[in-house]
Amino acid sequence: MASQFGHNIRVSIFGQSHSRAIGVNIDGLPAGEAVDLEEAGRFLARRAPGKAPYATARREADAPVVLSGLVDGYTCGAPLCAIIENKDARSKDYEQLRDLPRPSHADYTAYVKYGKYHDIRGGGHFSGRLTAPLCFAGAVALQILARRGIWVGAHIAAIAGVEDAPFDPVDLTAEQLLAPGRSPFPVVEDSAGQRMREQIEQARLDQDSVGGIVECAALGVPAGLGEPMFDGLENRLAAALFGIPAVRGVEFGTGFAAAALRGSQHNDPFSQQPDGTVRTRTNHHGGILGGISSGMPILLRCAFKPTPSISQPQQTVSLSAHQDRTLVIEGRHDPCVVPRAVPCVEAAVALVLLDLIL
Amino acid sequence: MASQFGHNIRVSIFGQSHSRAIGVNIDGLPAGEAVDLEEAGRFLARRAPGKAPYATARREADAPVVLSGLVDGYTCGAPLCAIIENKDARSKDYEQLRDLPRPSHADYTAYVKYGKYHDIRGGGHFSGRLTAPLCFAGAVALQILARRGIWVGAHIAAIAGVEDAPFDPVDLTAEQLLAPGRSPFPVVEDSAGQRMREQIEQARLDQDSVGGIVECAALGVPAGLGEPMFDGLENRLAAALFGIPAVRGVEFGTGFAAAALRGSQHNDPFSQQPDGTVRTRTNHHGGILGGISSGMPILLRCAFKPTPSISQPQQTVSLSAHQDRTLVIEGRHDPCVVPRAVPCVEAAVALVLLDLIL
Amino acid sequence: MASQFGHNIRVSIFGQSHSRAIGVNIDGLPAGEAVDLEEAGRFLARRAPGKAPYATARREADAPVVLSGLVDGYTCGAPLCAIIENKDARSKDYEQLRDLPRPSHADYTAYVKYGKYHDIRGGGHFSGRLTAPLCFAGAVALQILARRGIWVGAHIAAIAGVEDAPFDPVDLTAEQLLAPGRSPFPVVEDSAGQRMREQIEQARLDQDSVGGIVECAALGVPAGLGEPMFDGLENRLAAALFGIPAVRGVEFGTGFAAAALRGSQHNDPFSQQPDGTVRTRTNHHGGILGGISSGMPILLRCAFKPTPSISQPQQTVSLSAHQDRTLVIEGRHDPCVVPRAVPCVEAAVALVLLDLIL
Amino acid sequence: MASQFGHNIRVSIFGQSHSRAIGVNIDGLPAGEAVDLEEAGRFLARRAPGKAPYATARREADAPVVLSGLVDGYTCGAPLCAIIENKDARSKDYEQLRDLPRPSHADYTAYVKYGKYHDIRGGGHFSGRLTAPLCFAGAVALQILARRGIWVGAHIAAIAGVEDAPFDPVDLTAEQLLAPGRSPFPVVEDSAGQRMREQIEQARLDQDSVGGIVECAALGVPAGLGEPMFDGLENRLAAALFGIPAVRGVEFGTGFAAAALRGSQHNDPFSQQPDGTVRTRTNHHGGILGGISSGMPILLRCAFKPTPSISQPQQTVSLSAHQDRTLVIEGRHDPCVVPRAVPCVEAAVALVLLDLIL
């Protein structure tokens, strides 16, 4: 059940980087939900590669074909399956990797687990390309959530140590939330984005790569959603988010920084609102208390490691010769996956929230 | 299914802080596994409260009674259920909390979800006391793992900004791994522990609390364990760890710090060992690549927020009067849960590893 | 996960025939549901042994103790765990069975699966005694369903070939449905019940046993409940019902008899009702079409094999000597489990329906 | 999660009768398993329609296209997804059914559940056509099981009351088990098959349909497979088998007939074999005791209702006019689905066994 998640909806992702197609099956969507495929296409375009200089040059059509579950633009209650054909697959690039596992990739662990049968081409099922069907599923979820007044957005919080301004944890508006996603480089402050792009370009010139952090928020999530202990919002969100390649950490609200605060600093005072609702004056808790939503903005951050594919010579081993070897990875690769990861984070969060709301 | 996790074994935790008993049911344990209840009791004692000055004064017997699943000290294949009676429950302390939710506690979200039926006494099912049965289950898992050469240990990595020395990510020995757990204050460097205790004591004197970070490692996990995408080691470990109250972030290997590194710094070179195995020279990946174990030490860190129960007056609302109110929480509370959280992290990690190995 | 079922609620049963206690944990019950423990006790009494001549003479207190999840008679949202202590356990009866597996019992398969660690005493976890916690959980579910206008009842449809009158598949009333359960011998027609008891008594005198069939119905289940394919009403009901020891077959509506009918006989014509609802004129479909409830009474039948414990000498093998042996099972046993199985069937059906409705 | 089943492998079926494609995704297959697509095609051909006179005239190419999970004929560890395009879809036949639900079909319950969004064309997701991807998945499972010495086969046990000879419950050989599947009309005794075909032809001439029973057996299943209570062989097999359209009952071993037997007749004596194994002299238990395999042949039977689509005028209602109506279903339909259901039963059983063995 490796490539599935969800309880009320079940999202199953399939495909390898160079298989005939990749795709996603979503079981459990309610009937009668409009799905705007053009809007989904625009969402998918946000993770599409090929936007120089910070993305790989492999161009993918990435036009999802819906096989089932949709009739005249509406979900019909049956599982919604969509596939994306793999067209531009240059398999020759990858053959040496079967013997020389790339550092920080899954080549070695996949070899241990699957032996010689692992589909090494393009990273196989471990490829970042598998986030395309995740994003398609997320696009469907975002449309359903939006009709219920729930909005999910994300931005690049940091790249190579350059930090963007954070979302306002208390007074974040939907307009502020969604603005970064409308830009080709999704940040809150353009000046930060400019400095991040300089870092990425410098890494590229150095045949190196950089990592970063994505901050994501959800607005409109009603209070009372989630469960205590092992099935709370954090548990489910984290389990989904670690399914995105290169994620190394997930934190909610003030997260790791909370560890250095005192209770008097971190506790969020409650406040009665004139409209009858209860809010908190600060939002260190990131909209989640005891695994259950509080009605405040849900806030989380994901750390992404630097792209492991770099052009510099690296030390590895020959699995056949049992000797150390030097590896030079050829081809062009993203010096930074973070900008393309932003919609992936939104997709994972949207799918978990939809799962919980149904 | 809020209070359950696991696939091959299923750990179900039940009880409230002031219910007749709390407990855990573990379904799916293999038959024929010896369970040393005295050793489990010693493990449980590591999370027991009452060790002044940094723990709550409530004294709990916490002696688990095994109801089923164990015959003459060996698992019999049937579900293992153990309970701990709640004896020292002073319910009167908590009555005002039904109307005045404590900041950063689950009182408010539980009220939204369960209404007036929520068991407010001692935090009900959200109480940190529910980690006692988690630890009992973890103790059973640790014993089974140890017989298979797998060791799990943790220490306080930081409290209130005071940092302990980290585990050696590459050459960590079982002795080093388990040493902190044998100490009443589980740290690698005693001097750091001393400074941490001073911070805790100062917070207590200030009617305040402090948070911290727990680092956990597992040795002996064979390479090839785990699954890609949504059922990998990170996904499962994070989903379990966020079940521990007060956890706000989980990171693996270099974690959030990886976001500021370059690929050439973060990638872990492979190295052929004379004994035929493959290892990495560094361990930024924390023993997990593509969701699958690499054979290197598994490394993770959990951030804990400062104890939300503090004695200072705090702002909250009256749920009945719909007005802001000032709350003073009475009774004594841990100014820092982190020392007691160390075995909880070990327990959650052990249960996930056991689940994956079976 | 052997001893669990359910999606929205999760029912976990634990214990062995001679363990300290047996019990059940129900995770996922909504908060605010009244649970009348006296009424649950009356339901539980319907499966209690000791009613001569057709039941085993072992007397069990069978008074469930609620450990958690219930506050002042209402569910609080936390898992509801209840246990029943095992008091009257005569373990000496069972020792020879470790070497000489009883025909048609699970002794042999448990030996293969668990080896010498299987708890052989009283059948261990395979004992019919484990239906006591199932019935307690079912009693809770029945109370919650009743408040939503859903009623579940069952009767003995046949014992040893003697048939009771069936429930009216179309016009069954709640009164008719629940009447058998109020009788010490739950049948529709007392004369059939009298003949059944004669069969049971004759079997007892012959040191033999008899099997039978239980018919169960549910009224008030709204149309539209269930899912297509593998998660429909039949799938879930059957999966739960086969968890009752001795069940060998499950059928819905006309069931196996439908295999000999023509479509023109078996198809149920739809009919518009004056009150605006749609009903069928006949009910061969047993209230389920495509895995989804139709609004008609849900009808199902379970076949129970004859009690495998009989006093006659039987052929078995010595697992240690690897030789054929003759076994004489001592002690007193039910010559027919069917009367006591009636509430078990109701319990399993009620729990599945509750799971689907939440 | 309606259209999924399995624990270690997860089989997800998608598609509607007239969607662009139907298909199946199998997550969790081990790497390195050869899949012979030609052999799978031959298995799939056994359920293919168009074999006059007893099958619908709709001709389907039914050639599955593998999208992922297979490299050079071997599973690679990634999910295996295969699709079958829907080419010969005559949607005009079905439009009136949106208003006039067909008796004994899921039209009405799907209308209640999904409203006007249900894909009414050809029965949508409820169509028997969805058993094609089930059979493809089953074909893959059968190949993997065969390499482990496990064989699954089935035959028509009865149609319209005409009975075939049963499988030998004790001494069944693989040759006997697989022989019916090699025939275009899968029975043990050709003379019975001839009489069955006469019944089908007569029903067809009468514009009617007939039901039947499929018996299935599995050989080579090692003793000790399965779990007690709710996750046993019966529970899982039944849950999967009721996913096949038109199944109304499932029984194991002697099944419903056991209800009329005495214990002395039904109990299966154990017998020590010269080769060291333990067998039973009879096999009323159908190879399963306490949910766990005994090593004897696994035996089960499924009842299929008569095809609900018949050409005779039938009574139904107009969902828009809220009035009774007469419906005449046009087009050609199978007067009996049982012959085509035989490989579907084998597929479901094989997938459950594979799931349990992994």
Chain C residues inside the 8 Å CB shell of B69: 14, 16, 19
What are the pLDDT digits (tens) for C113-149? 999 999 999 999 999 999 999 999 999 999 999 999 9
* Minimal-distance CA residue of chain D relative to C275: D322
Q: Residue A3: its pLDDT value, please?
A: 84
pLDDT per residue over D231-271, tens digit each? 999 999 999 999 999 999 999 999 999 999 999 999 999 99
What's the average model confidence in pLDDT over B231-235? 96
Mean per-residue pLDDT, D53-62 = 52
Select from B103, B206, B213 the Cβ nearest to the Cβ of A269: B103
Residue B226's pLDDT band (cuts 50, 70, 90): very high
What does the pLDDT average to over A43-47? 95
- D53 pLDDT exceeds 50? no
What pLDDT is recorded for position B54? 47
The C-alpha atoms of residue A6 and residue A347 are separated, in whole angstroms, by 13
Cross-chain Cβ contact B81/C2 below 8 Å: no
Which B-chain residues 29-48 have CB contacts (< 8 A) with chain C? 31-32
Residues of chain A positioned with their CB less than 8 A from the CB of D31? 113-115, 117-118
Q: Is B78 on the interface with D (CB under 8 A)?
A: yes
Asked if D78 and B7 come within 8 Å (Cβ–Cβ), the reply is no
Task: Give the number of other CB atoms < 10 A from CB of residue D24.
Answer: 28
pLDDT-above-90 percentage for chain B: 89
pLDDT for B158-209, tens place per residue? 999 999 999 999 999 999 999 999 999 999 999 999 999 999 999 999 999 9
DSSP-based three-state secondary structure for D18: coil
What ipTM was reported for this prediction? 0.96
Contacts of B262 in chain A (CB under 8 A): 160, 203, 206, 208-211, 306
Flag the least confident range among B266-270, C148-152, D326-330. Answer: D326-330
Helix axes A233-241, A338-357, angle to 10 degrees: 140
Tell me the residue type at B72. D
Judge whether residue B92 has pLDDT over 70.
no
Judged by CB atoms closer than 8 Å, whether chains meet at B247 and A234 is answered as yes
pLDDT of residue C49: 72
Nearest to C19 by CA among C133, C139, C136, C140: C133
* Contacts (Cβ under 8 Å, ≥6 apart) of B255: A248, A249, A303, B286, B300, B301
Chain pair C-D, CB pairs under 8 angstroms: 377
The tokens describing C244, both together, are: 């009752």
Confidence of residue C51 (pLDDT cuts 50, 70, 90): low
**Pick from C276, C292, C323: which is nearest to D113 by CB?**
C292
CA distance D144 to chain B (A): 21
- Listed residue (B145, B208, B206, B217) closest to B181, CA to CA: B217
Residue C91 has pLDDT above 90, yes or no: no
Q: Are the beta carbons of D14 and A23 separated by less than 8 Å?
A: no
pLDDT at D100: 96
D291 pLDDT band, cuts 50/70/90, is very high
Helix or strand holding residue A278 (H, E): strand A278-280
pLDDT at A4 over 90: no
- So what's the pLDDT on residue A92? 64
Question: Element (H or E) spanning B156, and its range?
Answer: strand B151-159
What is the pLDDT confidence band of residue A84, given thresholds at 50, 70 and 90?
very high
CA angle B261-B263-B265, nearest 5°? 60
Q: What are phi and psi of A131, to 5 degrees?
A: -75, -10
Chain C: residue whose CA lies nearest to B74: C117
Q: Provide mean pLDDT across the span B197-225.
A: 98
- Are the C-beta atoms of C130 and C23 separated by less than 8 Å? no
CA–CA distances in Å: residue B197 to residues B44, B190, B203, B303: 21, 10, 10, 18
Please state the rounded mean pLDDT for residues A140-166: 98
- Which residue, among A3, A9, A16, A37, would best test binding to D if mutated, counting the most D CBs under 10 Å from its CB? A16
Q: Which pLDDT value is given to residue A51? A: 56
Peptide bond into A53 cis (omega under 30): yes
Q: Which pLDDT belongs to residue A167?
A: 98
Torsion sign (Cα): A104, A108, A114, A116:
positive
CB pairs under 8 A between B and D: 3
For D84, the 3-state DSSP assignment is: strand
Span B35-51, mean pLDDT? 89
Which of D:211-270 have CB within 8 Å of C?
211-213, 223-224, 226-232, 234-236, 238-240, 242-243, 245, 247-256, 258-270
Q: What is the pLDDT of residue B171?
A: 98
- In this predicted structure, what is the pLDDT of residue B217? 98
Query: What confidence score (pLDDT) does residue C53 get?
Result: 47
Query: pLDDT band at A97, cuts 50/70/90?
Result: confident
The span from the CA of D358 to the CA of D356, in Å, is: 6
Using CA atoms, how far apart are residues D117 and D189, in angstroms rounded to an integer? 46
Residues C267-305 have pLDDT tens digits of: 999 999 999 999 999 999 999 999 999 999 999 999 999
Residues D175-188 pLDDT 10s: 999 999 999 999 99
pLDDT surpassing 60 at residue A55: no
- What's the rounded Cα separation, in Å, for the pair C123 and C104? 12
pLDDT of D65 higher than 80: yes
Taking every pair of C-alpha atoms in chain D, what is the biggest distance, in angstroms?
A: 73
pTM over 0.95: yes
Please give the Cα distance from C122 to C245 (Å, whole number).
14
Encode pLDDT of D85-110 as tens digits: 998 666 565 678 889 999 999 999 99
CA-nearest residue of chain C to B31?
C114
Q: Kindly state the average pLDDT of the residues D49-61.
A: 52
pLDDT of residue D96: 81
The rounded mean pLDDT for chain D is 94
Q: Is B133 an interface residue toward C (CB < 8 Å)?
A: no
Across D194-204, average pLDDT: 97
Q: Which of B48-57, B75-84, D41-50 has the lowest mean pLDDT?
A: B48-57
Task: Report in angstroms the alpha-carbon separations of D127 from B152, C294, D1.
Answer: 51, 18, 18
